[in-house]
Structure 1
Amino acid sequence: MKRAIVLMNLGSPDSTDVKDVKRYLDEFLMDERVIDKPWLFRALLVKGIIVPFRAPKSAEAYKSIWTEKGSPLIVISEQLRHALKKEVDEPVAIAMRYGNPSPKAAFDKLVNENPDLEEVIAIPLYPHYAMSSYETAVEYAKEQHKKGGYPFKLTTIKPYYNNEDYLQALAESIKPHLEGDWDHILFSYHGVPERHIYKGDITGQHCLKVPNCCEVPSPAYEFCYRHQCYATTKLVADRLNIPKEKWSQSFQSRLGRDPWLQPYTVARFEELPKQGVKKLLVVCPAFVSDCLETLEEIAEEGKEIFLHAGGERFEMIPCLNVHPLWVNALAKWVKEYVEGKQEMVLEN
């Protein structure tokens, strides 16, 4: 069977111009899986309030991390594509949930270059299941696939938050940074509103309702972002033999006033120095590619907050990006699927 691979990431504005940032934010925030409110309310909120006020600030933030080749997230995704192509026989393309290149552009390119294409393996670059990341990327790709009437089958890689290959790559990427003299390592994940957790609870009575819900086994785990984040943190900390008192977890990138998953990363940056943590390492496992939320929000703003609060040293560990073990993990999942093993795929 003639197959191809599409690596699916979040996306980025085409440039740091305010008009491009506005266009990107509008597409992103109007997604009903990101701001899950009725369309009219969402449109008034996004187009009338958030985007006009947020776009100029976001444009400045993007300027602080932009490279000569463009957006770090797009550049790294392209680097990952090249690295993976060396390890597999299948053609590889990249696609973004928001902005360019779109899934349609990726599908069109693959079909034009491979007229006999029979299947595309989509790999969402999101280790954890969340309606505002993994789910929206997969559903959008499926919509584009159906709308385009493409002749090939579309298959998707499952969330891999507890997969051995992903965990090993993540642990090895962290390990060299632990060799220094550090007081604490903070695992910071992208936050989501608590209502997203309730909506994703297929039991309707477990998530954020049962004491220690992330530690009490439940079918809800399959779609529970909070549980999956805690699972990744614990599994990686155990692999690296980090004592429990030396690590903690938080959630970043809060938007709006609704309650989001806690503790908030920005609050931890302010609290940790008061608790005796003067030398801090931060890792962001929800992202596999460095982007605005890691390079600007954590490495720049987060560092400033921590040092201002009394911290002395701050280091953000880079995302997996093109780490050899990460590339190997992706190649292994594809090869195992081609060989008939189904563990890492979902049939669409």
Structure 2
Amino acid sequence: MNLEKNNAVVVLLVNLGTPKQPNTEEVRLYLKEFLSDKDVIRLPRIFWLPLLHLIILRVRPKKSAELYKKVWTEWGSPLLYNTFLQAGLLRKRFTDKTDPVFLIDVAMRYGAPSLESKILEYKNKDYNNFLILPMFPQYSTTTTKSIANKLEMIMKKNIGLEQQLNIFFIKDFHDDEQYIISSSNQIELFQNKFGKPKRLLLSFHGIPKSYIAEDEPYQTQCFATAKLIAKKLNLNKDSYDVVFQSRFGKAEWIQPYLAETLETLPSENIKDIQVFCPGFVSDCLETIEEIGDESKELFLNSGGQKYNFIPCLNGNTIFIDMLENLIRNYKNATINYKELV
């Protein structure tokens, strides 16, 4: 191995994932992998797997494929496009001769390009140093820990691989100053163009409340992020709400729920709102369709008058600054992924 490769660090921006195409079969394959993850669905396998294969994977893929078709781009899904956009912007930050050399690429927890395929691709080119950067600001067992568990699976599957690699892992960046500044900046840029609302909703992805009982820090980190953003924007407690979206099933999830908030705000004479999702660094099906369209319809049908969704960070320059700094100082920001397994 030459000296440059020995010093180089392969940086993988790891996001959730996406089907290859917006058709029923590809969506079924994607959902099968996603919903089979024990970190995402913690129901007993003997109950969940028959339900998944006999009902959900027969019904849901067609409906989801139609939603993906609405947001699909010529470059693929919005999530894939935006994550590659971020990687491309980062590559421009590392064009000078630096020590070590950073190679920026993208991997997905589910679907393609898979985490395993990317690790093996670079290992076969004699790169042994990897920085795994989950694109989830707040740590959750359903996202970041799932990535760590996937790494463990990859190492067990490929015998001898673990001994050949140096893997660095970033756990979260929920209170990183530049992340907070970039989120605040994204909101301000939007409001400079469209005005300020009567109420700003900071909406995070929800998880079942039962997960919190297992020392899950996610909810605490979400509220901490929201508080820091509000402080940066000089918001008082009556001008913003923290809510949680995407609940499904009958189990209790962490609250307050976005849907219920949207239904009740108009009755409190809050009829002009904006929604920003700090937990999503890239726009995707969920932000565009659920938050951008479905939530807007719910709010307006409940008596609201003005609803705006603020786009995610995507290529926000300050956010790219933050990622660059995380990468350059990775030895101070990383953990051993096995601590999470």
TM-score normalized with structure 2 length:
0.90
> What does 1:304-315 align with in structure 2 at a 5 Å threshold?
304-315=297-308
Q: Are the counterparts in 1 of residues 8 and 103 from structure 2 also a CA contact under 8 Å? A: no
The equivalent position to 2:43 in structure 1, one of 37, 45, 55, is 37
Q: Distance in 2 between matches of 1:278 and 1:158?
A: 38
**1:217 alignment counterpart:** none
The equivalent position to 1:245 in structure 2, one of 225, 230, 238, is 238
**1:214 alignment counterpart:** none
Distance 1:326 1:146, change over 3 A: farther
Q: How far did residue 49 of structure 1 move?
A: 2.4
> What does 1:327-346 align with in structure 2 at a 5 Å threshold?
327-337=320-330, 341-342=331-332, 344-346=333-335
> What does 1:96-111 align with in structure 2 at a 5 Å threshold?
96-111=108-123
> What does 1:61-100 align with in structure 2 at a 5 Å threshold?
61-88=67-94, 89-100=101-112
> What does 1:286-301 align with in structure 2 at a 5 Å threshold?
286-301=279-294
Q: Distance in 1 between matches of 2:166 and 2:106?
A: 17
Q: Distance in 1 between matches of 2:295 and 2:185?
A: 24
The equivalent position to 2:199 in structure 1, one of 170, 181, 184, is 184
> What does 1:1-348 align with in structure 2 at a 5 Å threshold?
1-88=7-94, 89-112=101-124, 114-115=125-126, 117-148=127-158, 149-150=160-161, 151-179=164-192, 180-199=195-214, 201=215, 223-337=216-330, 341-342=331-332, 344-348=333-337
Q: Distance in 2 between matches of 1:253 and 1:18?
A: 21
Q: Distance in 1 between matches of 2:93 and 2:201?
A: 33
Letter in 2 for 1:233: A
SS at match of 2:243: strand
Number of aligned residue pairs: give it. 320
Q: Distance in 2 between matches of 1:174 and 1:44?
A: 44
Structure 1 outlier segments of 4+, above 3 Å: none
Q: Distance in 2 between matches of 1:178 and 1:79?
A: 24
Letter in 2 for 1:347: N
Q: Distance in 1 between matches of 2:321 and 2:153?
A: 29
Please report the RMSD computed on the Cα atoms of aligned residues, expressed in angstroms: 1.4
SS at match of 2:184: helix
Q: How far did residue 138 of structure 1 move?
A: 2.2
Q: How far did residue 18 of structure 1 move?
A: 0.8
Distance 1:145 1:172, change over 3 A: farther
Q: How far did residue 82 of structure 1 move?
A: 0.8
Give a deviation string over 1:273-302, Cα, whole Å, max 9, x none: 111111110001111111111000000111
**1:205 alignment counterpart:** none
Structure 1, 292-301 or 267-276: larger mean CA deviation: 267-276
Q: Are the counterparts in 2 of residues 280 and 314 from structure 1 also a CA contact under 8 Å? A: yes
Q: Distance in 2 between matches of 1:143 and 1:330?
A: 27
Q: Are the counterparts in 2 of residues 142 and 154 from structure 1 also a CA contact under 8 Å? A: no
Structure 1, 302-311 or 51-60: larger mean CA deviation: 51-60
Q: How far did residue 330 of structure 1 move?
A: 0.9
SS at match of 1:280: strand
Q: Distance in 1 between matches of 2:152 and 2:84?
A: 22
Letter in 2 for 1:333: L
Q: Are the counterparts in 2 of residues 9 and 125 from structure 1 also a CA contact under 8 Å? A: yes
SS at match of 1:245: coil
SS at match of 1:130: coil
Q: Are the counterparts in 2 of residues 124 and 138 from structure 1 also a CA contact under 8 Å? A: no
Letter in 2 for 1:226: Q
Q: Distance in 2 between matches of 1:162 and 1:320?
A: 15
Letter in 1 for 2:178: D
Q: Distance in 2 between matches of 1:118 and 1:18?
A: 38
Q: How far did residue 35 of structure 1 move?
A: 0.7
